[in-house]
């Protein structure tokens, strides 16, 4: 049916799959534009997403260098052919766009364009954007088959773009919910500890001169309350899903965090990855949180001078291991409340992601935390 420069139906299938796999709106727009330009063998391609003020909220181009784009200037307004494509139902194919009565010119740095093919991208009655192609590389300009192919791309582009928008909105809602939850936790837990700190500090100040022994006891209580507040604040903050995990993935995020910890602590912290590339989002977040908690415990409680983090492929899933050469402990009789809560949290995260957590430790032998997930 379609015999484009990249091999007909196989090229079309590759392009459609590439669109459907993107989650960020900007990535979807870029993939659509690049796919359209390559499949239809055009010199230039663009996709404009309109705003409500007569301009474009986003305008993605392919075939123009960054320097050319910088010289062209601000984003175009909705005018001429660009505006027409946003308000009509079907494609527009022109032998020379410059001869169309709706053509209103372009900036001095804009490349010269002649043959033109445009197609609105619509979801029902809503216009999501418009695709523009110019300068067919082969003689004769754009064809009727090119129109059909661009219409097909536009249909799938509408689906991919709608899905990406829904994904971004769900992320925004999640962030808002996380902020609300964090605010409640800060108020309910940390704020109460800070209030207790304030009262205890006032009591200690009043006792310094007339009862130094009692004042010393109050100061020790202040130190304990401060440690508890710090732990609860850290626990609340680490509940937030880091942006780096969405942008860079688990492996890169773990590598970066281990690098930072290695520089910040006297203990040598290392990270090794063997065969793991990507996992389902829920599992990646759980693995990251367990790694963070295990690293915190190792660096704060173990007293060791080496902590090793490994992430390795196991069957269809992966296994995370955090090992230190510190003092170790008996898992059946944990005295440190912070460490006990950390282990409970890690087990909850592991089970919530369909995985399991194993703790290997004895006094004097160091500690190994292992979390295994089955994969997608």
pLDDT of 4 reads 44
Question: What is the pLDDT at residue 28?
Answer: 85
Per-residue pLDDT at 376 exceeds 70: no
Burial class (CB in 10 A: 0-12, 13-18, 19+), 277: exposed
Half-sphere exposure (Cβ direction) of 220: Cα atoms closer than 13 Å: 6
Asked if residue 323 has pLDDT above 90, the reply is yes
Q: Which two tokens stand for residue 298?
A: 């190792």
Residue pointed to by tokens 């990270």: 271
Residue 322 has pLDDT above 70, yes or no: yes
- At residue 52 the predicted structure's pLDDT band, cuts being 50, 70 and 90, is confident
Task: Assign 3-class secondary structure to the chain.
Answer: CCCCCCCCHHHHHHHHHHHHHCCCHHHHHHHHHHHHHHHCCEEEEEEEEECCCCCEEEEEEECCCHHHHHHHCCCCCCCHHHHHHHHCCCCEEECCHHHCCCCCCCCCCCCCCCCEEEEEEEECCEEEEEEEEEEECCCCCCCHHHHHHHHHHHHHHHHHHHHHHHHHHHHHHHHHHHHHHHHHHHHHHHHHHHHHHHHHHHHHHHHCCCCHHHHHHHHHHHHHHHHHHHHHHHHHHCCCCCHHHHHHHHHHHHHHHHHHHHHHCCCEEEEEEECCCCCCHHHHHHHHHHHHHHHHHHHHHHCCCEEEEEEEEECCEEEEEEEECCCCCCCCCCCCHHHHHHHHHHHHHHHHCCCEEEEEECCCCCEEEEEEECCC
| Whether 43 contacts 63, CB under 8 Å | yes
CA distances from 369 to 153, 323, 358 (A): 48, 6, 6
Question: Residues of the chain with pLDDT > 70: what percent?
Answer: 84
Q: Tokens at residue 261, please?
A: 């910890």
Q: For residue range 128-186, what is the model confidence (pLDDT) as tens digits? A: 999 999 999 988 899 999 999 999 989 988 888 888 888 877 777 766 676 666 666 66
Note the pLDDT of residue 310: 96
Of the pLDDT bands very low, low, confident and very high (cuts 50, 70, 90), residue 264 is confident
Burial 73-105 (b: 16+ CB within 10 A, else e): eeebebebbbbbbbeeeebbbbeebeeeeeeee
Look at residue 341 and tell me whether its pLDDT is greater than 60. no
Mean pLDDT, the chain, integer: 82
Angle between helical axes of 337-352 and 281-297 (0-180°, round to 10): 160
Task: Convert the pLDDT of each residue in 225-260 to its tens digit.
Answer: 777 777 666 655 555 555 567 777 889 889 988 887
**Which is nearest to 60 in space by CA: 71, 52, 69?**
69
pLDDT of the residue at 240: 52
Statement: residue 368 has pLDDT above 90: yes
pLDDT at 10: 74
Q: Per DSSP, what are the bridge partners of residue 50?
A: 56
pTM over 0.85: no
Phi first, then psi, for residue 331 (nearest 5°) are -55, -25
Question: Of 49-53, 252-256, 309-313, which range is least confident?
Answer: 49-53
* Contact (CB, 8 A) for 356 and 371: yes
Given this model, what pLDDT does residue 1 score? 42
Q: Specify the pLDDT at position 188.
A: 58
Greatest mean pLDDT range, 86-90, 189-193, 225-229, 308-312: 308-312
How many beta carbons lie within 10 A of that of residue 162, not counting itself? 16
Report residue 212 as tokens: 């130094």
Name the β-bridge partners of 311: 273, 320
Instruction: Check residue 296 and give its pLDDT.
Output: 85
Q: Is the dihedral of CA 192, 195, 200, 203 positive or negative?
A: negative
Tell whether the model's pLDDT for residue 340 goes beyond 90: no
When pLDDT is cut at 50, 70 and 90, the band that residue 190 belongs to is low
Residue of higher predicted confidence among 186 and 219: 219
How sure is the predictor about 189, in pLDDT bands with cuts at 50, 70 and 90? low
pLDDT at 41: 93
């Amino acid at each position: 049916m379609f015999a484009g420069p990249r091999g007909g139906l196989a090229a079309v299938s590759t392009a459609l799959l590439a669109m459907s796999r993107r989650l960020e709106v900007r990535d979807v727009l870029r993939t659509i534009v690049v796919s359209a330009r390559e499949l239809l063998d055009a010199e230039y391609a663009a996709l404009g997403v309109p705003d409500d003020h007569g301009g474009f909220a986003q305008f993605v181009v392919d075939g123009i260098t960054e320097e050319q784009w910088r010289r062209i200037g601000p984003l175009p307004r909705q005018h001429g052919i660009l505006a027409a494509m946003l308000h009509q139902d079907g494609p527009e194919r022109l032998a020379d766009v410059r001869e169309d009565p709706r053509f209103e010119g372009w900036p001095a740095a804009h490349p010269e364009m002649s043959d033109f093919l445009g197609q609105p991208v619509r979801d029902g009655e809503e216009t999501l954007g418009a695709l523009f192609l110019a300068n067919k590389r082969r003689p004769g300009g754009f064809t009727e088959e090119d129109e059909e192919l661009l219409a097909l791309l536009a249909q799938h582009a509408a689906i991919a773009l709608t899905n990406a928008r829904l994904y971004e909105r769900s992320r925004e809602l999640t962030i808002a919910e996380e902020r609300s939850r964090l605010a409640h936790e800060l108020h309910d837990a940390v704020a109460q500890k800070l209030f207790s700190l304030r009262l205890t500090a006032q009591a200690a100040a009043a006792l310094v001169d007339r009862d130094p022994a009692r004042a010393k006891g109050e100061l020790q209580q202040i130190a304990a309350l401060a440690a508890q507040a710090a732990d609860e604040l850290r626990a609340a903050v680490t509940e937030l899903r880091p942006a780096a995990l969405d942008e860079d993935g688990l492996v890169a995020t773990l590598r970066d965090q281990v690098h930072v910890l290695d520089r910040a602590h006297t203990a040598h912290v290392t990270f090794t990855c063997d065969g793991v590339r990507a996992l389902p989002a829920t599992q990646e977040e759980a693995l990251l949180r367990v790694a963070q908690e295990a690293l915190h415990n190792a660096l704060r409680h173990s007293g060791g001078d080496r902590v090793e983090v490994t992430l390795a492929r196991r069957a269809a899933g992966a296994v995370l291991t955090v090992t230190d050469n510190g003092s170790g402990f008996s898992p059946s009789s944990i005295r440190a409340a912070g460490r006990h809560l950390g282990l409970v949290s890690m087990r909850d995260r592991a089970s919530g992601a369909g995985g399991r957590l194993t703790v290997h430790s004895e006094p004097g032998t160091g500690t190994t935390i292992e979390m295994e997930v089955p994969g997608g």
